[in-house]
Amino acid sequence: MVGRHVKLAEAVAERSEPDEQEDEPTRELDRYGASDDSNDSRPLSEHDWHHERLLAGTISWSVFLVLSLIVLVVVIAQIAATGPVGLSHIVRTQSNSGSASFQNGTPPTVTAEAAFVYDPDLGLTYFAKNADLELPQASCTKIMTALLAVEHGNLDQVITVGTDAQALVRPDSSYMGLSAGEKLTLRDLLYGLLLPSGNDAAVAIADAIGGNVPNFVAMMNQRAQQLGLTHTHFMNPHGLGEPNHYTTARDLAVLAAAAMKNPILVQITSTKEYTIPKTSTHKAYDLMTGDDLIPGARAPYPGAIGVKPGYTGDAGYCQAFAAIRFGHLIVGAVLNEPSWQVRITDMRALLDWGFEQESIAPAPPPVPWSYPTPES
C-alpha cells in the first residue's frame, strides 16, 4: 500500500516536469512566447527561458514533496493504530455483543466454567468460553453498586449506617465492619465496598442512593438494560446467593469496562490499602484489597487496575479484571473457578493472550507484593 502511494506521488511529479521529448519547433514556439491571445510578441531571452524552467521544476518538486508527506502521515497513522509492533489479527466470528472476534495464534486453556476477554476501545473480542452462560457472580455484583453510587451520589455526602447494613457484619459475610448509627462519606463507603468487599457497605450505599434496597436493586437492573447486559439480573447490591441473581462472563466484562471509564472507580479499584482515621462519628478503618492482580498484591500483573473479585459456595471464585499496558486496555471476566490460585493463573493467561493480540509481549512471572510498571 505504501509503495502504491509513493509511485502515485512520483507519477504526479513526472507529469509536472517539462516533457524532454517535446518537439523542437514546439519548444522554440514556447520559448518565444507565441500564442493566439498574446499582446506581447517579444521573444523570451535565454535568461527568462531558464528562469521559467527553474520555476516549473520548483513547483514540480513541491508537489512531489507534499504528496510524499501525505503518504508518510498516512503510514505513521496506520502504524500508531496497530500498537508497538503492529497488529495482526485473523477474523473469526461476530460476537453477540456486536464486537468482532479476533484470534492470532492458539488461545490459552482456562479452567473457569466461563470466561471472556476483549478490548473495549477497539470493540474486539479475543477470548470467549461459555461467554453467555448465566451463572452466579458473587461480589462482582458490587461493580454495579459502585457504578450507580458514583453516577447518582456525591462522594462527600455523609451517610448514616442503618441496622440492615450492620446485620451483614457476620462470619458468613465479607464486611467492612460498620456499626449502626456511624456516619461516613460515600467515598469512604466505596473503599469499604470494593477493597474488603463489604456487604454492609453495599447495603449502606443502597439505602442512601436508592432510598432503600429494593429501589436500588431496581436501579441496578435498569442500568444493566442500558448497558446492554441482556443476560444479567440483580436481586441485591452485594452478591450473596439468591435465586434469579446472575450474570455472564461477557456481561460482567462489559460492566467492568463501563466502570473503568470512571476515574474515581479506577482510583479505588487499583488501591491496595486505604485507611480511614477515627472521628467523632465513626471508628477507624484499615481496608485491604482482595484483588490479587493490582500492584502490591500477591500476584501483581503489570498495569492492572482492578476490577473486583468475588466468592460464594454457589458461584465459586469469580473476578472481573482489567489492565492497561502501552496504552492498550484489556478487560475480562472469569466465573466459577475452583480456587483463588487457579483464578490467578487463568486471569494472567487471559491478559497475556489479550495483549498478545495487540503485539504486546507477555508479562514476566509475578513477584508477590511487588509493584511492576505497566510497561513491564
Q: What is the pLDDT of residue 64?
A: 63
134 is a domain residue = yes
Question: What CATH number is given to the structural domain containing 281?
Answer: 3.40.710.10
Q: Kindly state whether residues 137 and 31 are assigned to the same domain.
A: no
Q: Kindly state whether residues 120 and 179 are assigned to the same domain.
A: yes
Q: Is position 272 annotated as part of the catalytic site?
A: no
Q: Kindly state whether residues 76 and 148 are assigned to the same domain.
A: no
Q: What is the pLDDT of residue 161?
A: 98
366 is a domain residue = no
Show the domain range for 133. Answer: 100-356
CA dihedral 265, 266, 272, 278 (to 10 degrees): -30
From the candidates 101, 129, 142, 308, give the one annotated as an active-site residue.
Answer: 142
- The last residue of a domain, from among 54, 81, 108: 81
Select from 252, 264, 263 the least CA-distant residue to 228: 252
309 is a domain residue = yes
Q: Residue 244 in contact with residue 151, Cβ under 8 Å?
A: no
Q: Kindly state whether residues 39 and 140 are assigned to the same domain.
A: no
From the candidates 97, 99, 197, 270, give the one annotated as an active-site residue.
Answer: 197
Q: Kindly state whether residues 211 and 285 are assigned to the same domain.
A: yes
Please list the alpha-helical segments (H only) found in the chain: 2-16, 24-31, 46-81, 142-152, 163-166, 186-194, 199-210, 213-226, 249-259, 263-269, 340-356
Q: What is the pLDDT of residue 246?
A: 98
Q: Which burial class, exposed, middle or buried, applies to 221 when counting CB atoms under 10 A from its CB (0-12, 13-18, 19+)?
A: middle
Secondary structure of residue 158 in the 3-state scheme: strand
191 is a domain residue = yes
92 is a domain residue = no
Q: Which burial class, exposed, middle or buried, applies to 216 when counting CB atoms under 10 A from its CB (0-12, 13-18, 19+)?
A: buried
89 is a domain residue = no
Q: Kindly state whether residues 156 and 7 are assigned to the same domain.
A: no
Q: Is position 197 annotated as part of the catalytic site?
A: yes
Q: Is position 139 annotated as part of the catalytic site?
A: yes
Domain count, the chain: 2
Q: Kindly state whether residues 75 and 115 are assigned to the same domain.
A: no
Q: What is the pLDDT of residue 31?
A: 38
261 is a domain residue = yes
Q: Kindly state whether residues 157 and 270 are assigned to the same domain.
A: yes
Q: Kindly state whether residues 162 and 242 are assigned to the same domain.
A: yes
370 is a domain residue = no
Q: Tens-of-pLDDT digits for all 376 residues of the chain?
A: 434 343 434 443 444 444 444 444 344 334 333 344 444 445 555 555 455 555 555 556 666 666 666 756 554 444 444 444 333 332 333 333 545 777 788 999 999 999 999 999 999 999 999 999 999 999 999 999 999 999 999 999 999 999 999 999 999 999 999 999 999 999 999 999 999 999 999 999 999 999 999 999 999 999 999 999 999 999 999 999 999 999 999 999 999 999 999 999 999 999 999 999 999 999 999 999 999 999 999 999 999 999 999 999 999 999 999 999 999 999 999 999 999 999 999 999 999 999 999 999 999 999 999 999 998 8
Q: Kindly state whether residues 36 and 162 are assigned to the same domain.
A: no
- The last residue of a domain, from among 81, 115, 137: 81
The Cα–Cα gap between 108 and 103 comes to: 11
Q: Kindly state whether residues 198 and 281 are assigned to the same domain.
A: yes
Q: Kindly state whether residues 71 and 213 are assigned to the same domain.
A: no
